[in-house]
Structure 1
Amino acid sequence: MSVRYLPAVVAAALLGSIAVAAPAAAEVEHSAADAGLTSGRLGPTVTALLGLMAIVIGTRALTRVGRSGTGNSRNQAVLALVSGLVSLALGSWFAVTADGGPGTGNGIVGAWAAMVFGLIALVLGALTLNRSRQAGRIG
């Protein structure tokens, strides 16, 4: 295997996207384009992970909004909103610029996942901000 494929293989192994033994040297380049983490899949995958992280942050902020430290919940809600917006925008960009459908290596599935995750994070962040404002008026 060539050294130039090493970062892509390490990243794919960390993400759990490949779990196969290395085939013969002649077949490595062919299988890396079909099943591995291609350059078209890397951006949407990272964007989808950003959206997933925003969902986790938004969920944690929403569950903690009624407690005494509402300032931290507001900060987390804003972080979920911004991360969700970035995930939604970049996912939309990757979906528009993808050349093929699912399975072509262009990242269309990751782009759609990023858009869905970003939208969920936006809703969670908005709910948290709304509840923190209501808790501020009452308390």
Structure 2
Amino acid sequence: MTVHLLSAASAVGAGTLTLDRAAATAAALAALVGVIIGGLALARPTSRIGRRGATAALAAGLVGAAVGVLILATADGGPGTGNGVVGGYAAVVLGPVAAVLGGLRLARSRRTT
């Protein structure tokens, strides 16, 4: 299977990787990793993840949400057009969740120290 990287397309196949789809997927994955790290940091306050993990979750959530909003703002079509709309929405949903989880962990660590 070959994957073609296209910068813009009006009607592309479901398996075609466009630049917008790649950016939206990367943003959604960054936000998802942020949610996982933030959840672990919040659930296990004495673990090795600690403040660094909470900071990483906060940063990944903010970056993922910002890139997702940028993808959605520049998209000129809906889902299935190759504009990364689905990944952009996933990043917009998961990004704030990661940021809140990381922020909660950082707030709790400031209260206890």
TM-score (norm. length: structure 1): 0.69
Candidates 61, 66, 69, aligned match of 2:41: 61
1:51–1:133 Cα change, 3 Å: same
Q: CA deviation at 1:110?
A: 0.6
Q: Which residue of 1 aligns with 2:105?
A: 128
Q: Which letter maps to 1:82?
A: A
Higher relative contact order (CA 8 A, sep 6+): 2
Aligned: 1:116 with 2:96: no
Q: Which residue of 1 aligns with 2:65?
A: 88
User: Which structure shows the higher helix fraction?
Assistant: 1
Q: Which residue of 2 aligns with 1:100?
A: 77
SS in 2 for 1:34: coil
Q: Which letter maps to 2:106?
A: L
Moved over 6 A (4+): none
Q: Which letter maps to 1:99?
A: D
TM-score (norm. length: structure 2): 0.84
Tell me, in whole angstroms, the C-alpha distance in 1 between the residues paired with 2:87 and 2:50.
29
Aligned: 1:46 with 2:26: yes
* RMSD value, Cα: 2.0
Tell me, in whole angstroms, the C-alpha distance in 2 between the residues paired with 1:47 and 1:92.
10
Q: Which letter maps to 2:84?
A: G
Q: CA deviation at 1:41?
A: 1.2
Q: CA deviation at 1:106?
A: 1.0
Tell me, in whole angstroms, the C-alpha distance in 1 between the residues paired with 2:86 and 2:33.
18
